Amino acid sequence: MVKKSIVYAAVVTCLCATTVSPPLTAASLDESFNTLEQWVETERIISRERADWESEHATIQDLIAIYEEELALLEGRIERAEAAVSATDRERGDLLDVQEELREIQQTIRTRVENEEARLRRLVEFFPRPLRQELQPLINRIPREGEETRLSLSQRMQNIVGILGQADSFNNAVTPVSETREFENGTIAVDTLYFGLGIAYYVDGSGDHAGVGYPARGAWRWEPNQELAHSISRLVRIYRKSDHATYVSLPAELTELPD
């Protein structure tokens, strides 16, 4: 073999160049050749392993780069997911805060509505009969104290506003009413002028019956006063514009209504 001949030539050259070496026997020479061949094979294996390692090292570096890139993408997704969860938690927390605030507002409104209904229950007892008859459908919708109702807070509030609105209109006007009243000689038709919710005057067509009405719990208090018949009759004519306007003196009494 050429390779082996070259190795032998190198060995012979080396041996010839060493003048102080002891004489070589055939056995020692073969041993030297064997050792040299093993060394060359070892170097070849090392060289091959080094080349394989370098190739594998490059592959591993490429894989590491790919894994690092994937890891960075994954970490980015995790961060975005955590941010989304945090935002969702914040939004959920905000919604819970709003819900609690709405509950508090609803409870405040409920308390206010219940207080107004209690006030109305006391107030309607002092309304005159014509106004109570007009408002009776709304009055019937006011729940009794402690009674459950199917009406929503909005409906209950509308009911309160409806009653107060009509009561206010009645209170700021003079309201003529033709009605009947009980007297000792029977039921007689009278003309009544209600001055708001504070006082009223009545008189019959003959002038035999007249009087003044004042607010009272349950039903108005009517005080007969036949001496006022002429003045009240003239007041009725003035209101109907069948008589010219003039000053008419009539008694009045202030009645304090419940809050």
d(CA 41, CA 185): 149
Residue of 229, 237, 234, 182 whose CA lies nearest to 203 = 229
pTM, 2 dp: 0.61
For the cut 70, the answer to whether the pLDDT of residue 46 exceeds it is: no
Model confidence pLDDT, tens digit, residues 14-33: 334 444 445 556 666 666 66
- Which percentage of the chain shows pLDDT scores above 90? 47
At 17 the pLDDT is 41
At 5 the pLDDT is 39
For the cut 50, the answer to whether the pLDDT of residue 6 exceeds it is: no
Model confidence pLDDT, tens digit, residues 50-96: 666 566 557 666 666 776 777 677 777 777 777 777 777 777 777 77
Report residue 140 CA to chain centroid gap: 32
